[in-house]
């Protein structure tokens, strides 16, 4: 891939120039680190990965699918402005890749696609694992960015990863210089991020050690809410009593960790026991999705562990299984 060079002191000049043409979204540090629209590039925070993933910008927490009034159905036409997302770690870039696979390749979801199509993805490579819970190095992540920034001290190497990245680099060429540098696969390895020892857990489903996590799990669903790859949702019709002919159909994020997720007619719950729900999430991330698509759904960001109220480290539990 073509690699450019940028003086580090020019990075925020470049981002400021981008902001004049696009809506700029980048991590900021407030109560926690999160992605937000940037008004002042000085607010951008790159010391730690965002606590919340980018998912909500594309697969939104709540989405109006259509409104109805009598016999009339009104379908919204969501349209996101042209946006540049900067400071995305490799785990989150792969998470977007996996959601693109689900919402754009396997099904044509117009709501997700409309949010994604005008977006530029600018990555920021981790020189070391930003969290003790990261295990992205165990999951064979790929390059999936328009531009990827590598911090090399007083300068940055910028790898062009797509035609959209090539377009941006050309449009703002005054901020880059040509270089013969190359970034090897070895240089892309993130130290201390290879925590998951077992690559195949298919034979471990009945292992008694799962109880280490199950017994302290609260089924609170924080893990799925903060997961950058979970894509489950539920659909409800909202109708008021004043005019029952008027209302809207909405979809919203759902979680396999609550009993209602598998409740069907007749009040039957397919995964009633907490252990079944606990294992289902992990197996979907590390086994079921891979059986269907050839890659893990999980990207090893470690958010589900860091945000867990009882700090259940399922990676550690799996590693200790004999």
Residues 34-77 have pLDDT tens digits of 999 999 999 999 999 999 999 999 999 999 999 999 889 999 88
Q: How many CA atoms lie within 13 A of 98 on its CB side?
A: 28
Q: Is 30 exposed, middle or buried (0-12, 13-18, 19+ CB in 10 A)?
A: exposed
Average pLDDT of every residue of the chain: 95
pLDDT at position 88 is 98
Confidence band, pLDDT 50/70/90 cuts, at residue 139: very high
Contacts of residue 169, defined as CB under 8 A and 6 or more positions apart, other chains included, come to: 4, 147, 158, 160, 176
Last residue of one domain, picked from the residues 133, 158, 188? 188
CB distance 23 to 84 below 8 Å: yes
Same domain, 106 and 207: no
Same domain, 148 and 242: no
Same domain, 111 and 156: yes
Same domain, 183 and 216: no
Q: Express as a percent the part of the chain with pLDDT over 70.
A: 100
Which residues on adjacent β-strands are paired with residue 178? 4
What tokens appear for 147 in the block? 């531009």
Same domain, 100 and 36: yes
Same domain, 249 and 176: no
Last residue of one domain, picked from the residues 153, 188, 223? 188
Same domain, 121 and 166: yes
Range of the domain at 148: 3-65+75-188
Among all chains, which residue has been given the structure tokens 């754009």?
A: 104
Same domain, 11 and 34: yes
Instruction: Say what the pTM is.
Output: 0.94
Same domain, 130 and 178: yes
Same domain, 133 and 265: no
pLDDT at position 32 is 95
Same domain, 127 and 8: yes
Rounded to whole angstroms, the Cα distance separating 176 from 179 reads: 9
Last residue of one domain, picked from the residues 157, 188, 219? 188
């Amino acid at each position: 891939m073509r690699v450019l060079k940028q003086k580090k002191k020019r990075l925020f000049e470049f981002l400021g120039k981008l902001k004049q043409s696009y809506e700029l979204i980048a991590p900021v540090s407030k109560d926690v680190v999160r992605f937000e629209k940037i008004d002042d590039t000085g607010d951008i925070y790159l010391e730690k990965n965002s606590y919340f993933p980018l998912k909500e910008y594309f697969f939104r927490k709540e989405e109006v699918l259509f409104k109805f009034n009598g016999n009339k159905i009104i379908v919204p036409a969501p349209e996101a402005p042209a946006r540049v997302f900067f400071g995305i770690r490799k785990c989150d870039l792969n998470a977007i890749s996996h959601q693109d696979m689900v919402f754009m390749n396997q099904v044509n979801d117009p709501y997700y696609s409309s949010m994604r199509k005008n977006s530029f993805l600018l990555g920021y490579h981790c020189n070391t694992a930003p969290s003790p819970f990261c295990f992205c190095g165990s999951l064979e992540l790929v390059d999936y960015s328009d531009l990827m920034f590598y911090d090399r001290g007083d300068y940055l190497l910028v790898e062009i990863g797509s035609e959209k990245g090539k377009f941006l680099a050309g449009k703002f060429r005054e901020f880059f210089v040509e270089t013969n540098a190359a970034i090897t696969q070895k240089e892309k390895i993130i130290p201390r991020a290879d925590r998951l020892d077992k690559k195949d857990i298919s034979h471990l489903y009945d292992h008694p050690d799962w109880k280490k996590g199950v017994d302290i799990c609260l089924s609170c669903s924080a893990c799925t809410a903060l997961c950058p790859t979970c894509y489950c949702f539920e659909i409800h019709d909202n109708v008021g009593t004043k005019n029952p002919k008027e209302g809207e159909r909405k979809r919203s994020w759902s979680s396999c960790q609550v009993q209602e997720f598998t409740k069907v007619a007749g009040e039957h719950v397919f995964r009633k026991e907490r252990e079944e729900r606990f294992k289902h999430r992990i197996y979907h991330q590390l086994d079921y999705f891979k059986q269907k698509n050839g890659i893990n759904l999980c990207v090893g960001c470690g958010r589900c562990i860091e945000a867990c109220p009882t700090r259940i480290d399922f990676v550690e539990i799996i590693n200790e299984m004999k």
